[in-house]
Amino acid sequence: MQLCSFCDRPADTKEHVIPQWLQRHFHLWDQQLGLWNETAISYRQALIPACHICNNQRFSRLENAVRTNDASEQDLYLWALKIRYGLSLKDNTLLLDRKSPQRGPLLPREIATYGAPFVRHAFRALDNTPFRFSPFPFGSVFLFSHPNVEPGRFDFVDIPAPYWALAITLPQHRILAVLFADRGVTKRIMRRYAPLKTQIENLARHVPEAGARTILFQLLRWQIRLVIPSGVRLANEGVLSDRIPRKIRTREPKLAWYRQIAANCGLPDAVAHQAFLRDKDALQVPYLLCG
């Protein structure tokens, strides 16, 4: 018997990784979701095992909050985390090469379940028990208004470890982008250094072709140059990070990092080279203030 993807109860239902309400809004049911091996499945086929409680009760408030535009930043973080984790689990059930099953799954189990203890523990926040995230929200959550986007256009990109990020189009001309593992540092840096945030907001607002992939690439350009603390404690009272220093050290960018995140975002290699050339001399301070 299969177990629920989000708890240890038996799975008696299937969970749509991309929520049904979002599929209906953007008419995604039969559209194609691209996979890492350059194949695709339809969005309606992106299903993972779930128990009735998780599928119909535990996540219902979260889904309704996002659907009705009433979600907090932490709600958006958890909602995006659910999608990112669900897609990894789905990739583990698909073959890397359908003509050569012996090559194994598209994503090995150890990679597909990366961060599973953290993910499952974080979802305890949905169980109506005293639970906190420190910092709050636990990652960098960005919600961009994109009024020039083509009506009905849906963009989606999810990035595995070590970058661990996701961007997705929402109704009302919005794009949600989440950096899951940075403790909110990237967004705090951008608040202090306003031109960094303005650069990306202008990109989203004035460049119609700058969809979720381009926006996420721009955010990850900044994240990879920051030395972010990694310690996390999963305690009964919540998810607690090691202390975030006020001064965040920076590091020299490497072309390989830019090429990797561009590839993960589905962007041409030329985009990585151009960004690297612009950035390699732009950040010459040993640290940035976080606050």
pLDDT tens for each residue of 193-235: 756 556 666 655 555 556 888 889 989 988 999 999 888 999 9
| Same domain membership, residue 164 and residue 65 | no
| Same domain membership, residue 154 and residue 54 | no
Q: Which of 124, 140, 159 is a domain's end point?
A: 124
pLDDT tens for each residue of 59-94: 999 999 999 999 999 999 999 999 999 999 999 998
| Same domain membership, residue 216 and residue 102 | no
| Same domain membership, residue 255 and residue 116 | no
| Same domain membership, residue 153 and residue 113 | no
What's the structural domain count of the chain? 2
Q: Which of 124, 154, 188 is a domain's end point?
A: 124
| Same domain membership, residue 281 and residue 138 | yes
pLDDT attached to residue 207: 52
| Same domain membership, residue 149 and residue 11 | no
Task: Domain of residue 211: give its range.
Answer: 130-291
Residues ≥6 apart with Cβ < 8 Å to 270: none
pLDDT tens for each residue of 231-248: 899 999 999 999 999 999
Q: Which of 108, 124, 140 is a domain's end point?
A: 124
| Same domain membership, residue 177 and residue 275 | yes
pLDDT tens for each residue of 94-140: 888 888 888 888 888 888 888 899 999 999 999 978 999 999 989 99
